[in-house]
Amino acid sequence: MKSIITLIAAAALAVSASAAHAEDMIKFGVAAEPYPPFTVKAADGKWSGWEVDLQQAVCKHIGAKCEFVETAWDGIIPALLAKKFDVIWSSMSITEERGKTITFTDKYYKTATTILAGKDAKFTPDEAGLKGKVLGAQVSTTQLDYANKFFKGVVKELKTYQTQDEVNQDLAAGRIDAQIVDTIPGVEFINSDAGKACCIQIGDVKDDVAVLGPGTGGGLRKEDTALIAKINGAIKDIRASGEYDAITKKYFKFDIYGK
């Protein structure tokens, strides 16, 4: 009898340990395209970049094992809701509209929105400057929302693209006059070999928190309150310890957290 009880207890412990191990795995959803310097996928499939380093620091702080799950950007919220992963960790702006469907962690960085154009362009990053131009933007972004709000009735055409790479390529090829994009990856592009040859930064657009949001955060299902609290605690402690600044200095010469 004792041996049977022992076996049952051992089996229960094994199940409990297995469940605990499963709970310790956090899956982070990332757009399956390069978004330097935040997320870059190497030929061997490994991800690197500022957002990857921050994710690893968060996971270490929580004491969890983590992995990235790649998905198309325009389907990333439905994939989260379908429980294909636990956290959107892909430079997603915190907005009121998205907050109707999902919830967000605290902000972990903030970037402005800018206009890029061909190297000979001399117009301004506003309604007057973009009048009659062909403007490009990636789908399902706050930049496209901004363009729809301020520029749709002004530009000759507002072209949309599935990926940011496609926007960059069309701007470089002269198929569009300008694009609207997050400032940090936008500057990264014009400083790249491909971008230097073709394009310049015209300037940042005027801020509109209602559209662009107060910053970037991790997106989670509304019911996952315990995980939200853990990630928020990790972000707070990483910033307080100086680890956040150490990670940032590897990629930027300026503060990206913002006010």
C-alpha 210/C-alpha 145 separation (Å) is: 10
pLDDT of residue 128: 98
End-to-end CA distance of the chain: 66
The DSSP symbol for 234 reads H
DSSP 136-186: EEETTSHHHHHHHHHTTTTSSEEEEESSHHHHHHHHHTTSSSEEEEEHHHH
Q: Are the C-beta atoms of residues 50 and 202 closer than 8 Å to each other?
A: no
> Which pLDDT tens digit goes with each residue over 171-188?
999 999 999 999 999 999
Residue 7 has pLDDT above 60, yes or no: no
C-alpha 36/C-alpha 193 separation (Å) is: 14
Residue 127 has pLDDT above 80, yes or no: yes
**Cα dist from 197 to 119, 181, 189, 212, whole Å:** 8, 19, 11, 29
Coil/strand/helix, residue 27: strand
> Which pLDDT tens digit goes with each residue over 16-42?
333 334 458 999 999 999 999 999 999
pLDDT of residue 29: 98
Which CATH class name applies to 113-212? alpha beta
Amino acid at the residue 59: C
Common-topology check for domains 24-110+215-249 and 113-212? yes
pLDDT of residue 5: 35
Residue of 71, 78, 66 lying closest to 102 (CA atoms): 78
- Split at pLDDT 50, 70, 90, the class of 259 is confident
Which residue shows structure tokens 């790249």?
192
Residue of 180, 228, 218, 255 lying closest to 94 (CA atoms): 218
C-alpha 75/C-alpha 10 separation (Å) is: 43
What does CATH list as the number for 24-110+215-249? Answer: 3.40.190.10
- Split at pLDDT 50, 70, 90, the class of 15 is very low
137: β partners: 160
Residue 152 has pLDDT above 90, yes or no: yes
Domain ranges across the chain: 24-110+215-249, 113-212
DSSP 1-17: -HHHHHHHHHHHHHHHH
Average pLDDT, the chain: 91
Residue 64 has pLDDT above 80, yes or no: yes
